[in-house]
Each structure stands twice: as C-alpha cells, then as structure tokens.
C-alpha cells in the first residue's frame, strides 16, 4: 500500500469523497536543501549511516548546477573547508541561489575574502555563519514572486520547499474561503499564505514565533503596500493565552477582541497542534488546517469533534518519500 492509498483509507472515517492528489515532478522540485559537510562530500543522514553526495536529484536545477562546482572549490581550499560542518541552499523562481556555509570556527577576514570571490564567480548570495556571527556577501533576504506578491525568506526561517506545488497550495487555500470576514493565522511563517489571503479578508491577524520570519513578513507587507495585516511575534501557546486575556507587549496594542474572525488557518510543524491550540480554534466556525504529517493531522481532527471535514487535498511535496502535505477545511457542524 503506497502513502496515498494509506491516507485515503485512514481519512474515510472523516471524509467520504475522493481525495484529490496533486503530484510533483520527481526531480528538481526542492528549492530548499540542507546538507552536512563530511569527508569532502555533501552528506545526509540515512537510517543507519551518512549518505555522501556530490549532487542531489531532488534539488532545483539551479541548485544542482552549482553544487558540484561549489564542493570542488571548498575541497580545494583548506581555509574554506576547515571546520565547515553544514552547507544549505535556497533558490527562487528567478534561479537565484542563496548558499549558507556554517562553521565551527571564527570567521576571519581571509575567509570572508574567499567567500566574496565565490559569490562573484558563481553569482551566489553567499552567507557565512559561526557562533554569534553572520556575514552576507549581498543581503540577508532572498526574494520570490508568488501569486503576484513579493515575499522574502532568510537562510534560517521556514519556507515551503516544493517550487512546483507552492502556488497551487495557495490557490487551493483561497478557494476554500467562503463568506470571509477576518482571519486568524497561527504559524504564519514568512507570510506565504498571509499575503495572498489579505486580498480576501477584511483583516488578517498573523502570528509566528520566529524572529526572522516576522521580519520577512514585515518587509513583504511594506514592499507590497499591504495595510490590513496585523502581526505579532507570538508562539501558538502565547496566542491562546492572549485570547484568554493575557497581555503581551509584542501584541503592539492590537485589540484581538475587535476582530470578527470567520476563519482560522493553522500550519503547524510535524508535531501537530497542541491541546491549547485545539481548545482555541474549536471556537471558530471555519478551520483551514495545513499539515505535513498525516499521523498528527488525523490525531488532531479527531479531537475537533464539533467540526466536519468539508474539503481535503493531498500535495505530494516530497515525491519518492513517505511524506505528504495536506490542505483541508473543517467547518463547525
């Protein structure tokens, strides 16, 4: 039984219609890749050993193009490879590549000069990190045009990785919205969904605990001249506390009680929703739940006893793996 059949069988208890599956090309789909550096190779951690790589078929074409060239440069320079332990890649629709080299040593002027040369030679946005230090050859942000909006990411915040399915997911979420008023979004990240949904809802209250992600959202709001998004750097549990009356300076005087929330959107990590978040969102009529883990997703919707699953689609963001992305709408019965 493959992962699609497995999920379809498990979801039947809650959703009797056929689940639409959106497939991805099996290669060149990942615009975000992270590797260890080990024994002159890119390395990934398999079940029992490290997997040593020169290239990575799943990586976006522009990343695959630079990977062998970069590893050759690193291996040929003792200063570049000394105490280097991680190499991360990100790319955008314009095939601009951001590379982060992470070191267990102090980054000195000599190393910075080598990094600047690499950046110019291969046209890379190159970042070097070590403990309490970061250096960028250009800027800290990688921009991307998604659904007509410029959004931003840094090298240390979450960003949806599948370049082929991201806009399809945004379109699906937008289609699920009927009779919108105000939106509460928990785990908003850099605002990948927030920006597009701002044109549908009267007001959006977007929350996220990651500092870099909130900075990206603010930058995107300014660049796109969006004025109906309110945001706060709050964890999901702090959002729950705020709705129960706790005061937070980080709310920036936002009056959450003035919101007329018709929909709540949650896009949690693989661990799923906490009890506190479920206890909060069950009070709203419409819940858009995006999940990267079918196991915790099924656990959570079982707890939302007063809501019915009205729509669900699968997005195969990680082909050739057991992972699935789920986009769904639950409505209070």
**311 SS3 class:** strand
Catalytic residue numbers?
Answer: 292
Longest CA span, the chain: 64
Query: Nearest Cα to 281, choosing from 207, 185, 208?
Result: 185
| CA gap 153, 214 in Å, rounded | 10
DSSP secondary-structure letter at 196? Answer: H
Return d(Cα 23, Cα 4) in angstroms, integer: 11
Q: Is 187 annotated as a binding residue?
A: yes
Residue 208 among known ligand-binding residues: yes
Q: What string of H, E and C letters represents the secondary structure of 210-252?
A: CHHHHHHHHHHHHHHCCCCEEEEECCHHHHHHHHCCCCCHHHC
> CA-to-CA distance for 49 and 44, rounded, in angstroms?
9
Contact present, 298 and 273 (Cβ < 8 Å): no
Tell whether 160 is in a known binding site.
yes
E-state strands within 94-202? 97-103, 124-130, 133-136, 142-146, 149-153, 182-186
CB-neighbour burial class of residue 275 (10 A; exposed 0-12, middle 13-18, buried 19+) = exposed
Phi–psi pair at 282, nearest 5 degrees = -65, -15
- Residues whose CB falls within 8 Å of the CB of residue 131, separated by 6 or more in sequence, listed in order: 104
Measured in degrees and rounded to the nearest 5, phi and psi for residue 252 equal 55, 40
User: Is 18 flagged in the annotation as binding?
Assistant: no
C-alpha to C-alpha distance for 279 and 302, rounded to whole angstroms: 13
How many CB atoms within 10 Å of residue 177?
Answer: 17
Listing from the earlier edge strand, what are the strands of the sheet with 124-130? 50-53, 41-45, 32-38, 84-91, 97-103, 124-130, 133-136
Residue ranges for the binding site?
A: 160, 187, 208, 267
Residue ranges for the binding site for S-adenosyl-L-methionine?
A: 160, 187, 208, 267
């Amino acid at each position: 039984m493959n992962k699609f059949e497995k999920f379809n069988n498990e979801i039947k208890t809650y959703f009797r219609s056929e689940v639409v599956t959106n497939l991805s090309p099996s290669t060149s789909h990942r615009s975000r890749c992270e590797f260890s550096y080990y024994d002159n190779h890119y390395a990934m951690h398999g079940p029992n050993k490290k997997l040593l790589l020169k290239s990575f078929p799943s990586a976006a074409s522009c990343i695959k193009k630079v990977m062998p060239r970069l590893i050759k440069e690193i291996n040929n320079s003792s200063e570049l490879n000394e105490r280097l332990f991680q190499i991360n890649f990100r790319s955008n629709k314009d095939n601009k590549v951001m590379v982060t080299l992470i070191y267990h040593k102090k980054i000195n002027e000599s190393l910075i000069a080598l990094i600047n040369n690499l950046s110019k030679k291969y046209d890379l946005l190159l970042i070097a990190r070590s403990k309490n230090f970061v250096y960028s050859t250009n800027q800290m942000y990688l921009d991307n045009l998604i659904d007509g909006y410029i959004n931003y990411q840094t090298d240390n915040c979450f960003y949806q990785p599948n370049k082929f399915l991201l806009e399809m997911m945004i379109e699906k979420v937008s289609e699920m919205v009927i009779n919108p008023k105000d939106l509460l979004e928990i785990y908003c990240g850099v605002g990948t969904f927030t920006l597009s949904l701002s044109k549908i809802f009267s007001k959006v209250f977007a929350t996220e605990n990651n500092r870099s992600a909130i900075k990206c959202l603010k930058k995107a709001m300014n660049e796109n001249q969006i004025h109906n998004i309110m945001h706060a750097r709050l964890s999901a549990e702090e959002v729950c506390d705020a709705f129960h009356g706790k005061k937070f300076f980080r709310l920036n005087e936002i009056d959450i009680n003035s919101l007329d929330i018709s929909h709540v959107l949650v896009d949690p990590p693989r661990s799923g929703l906490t009890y506190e978040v479920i206890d909060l969102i069950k009070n709203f009529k419409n819940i858009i739940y995006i999940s990267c883990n079918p196991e915790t997703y099924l656990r959570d919707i079982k707890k939302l006893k007063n809501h019915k699953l009205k729509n669900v689609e699968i997005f195969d963001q990680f082909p050739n793996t057991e992972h699935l992305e789920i986009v769904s709408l639950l409505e209070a019965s």
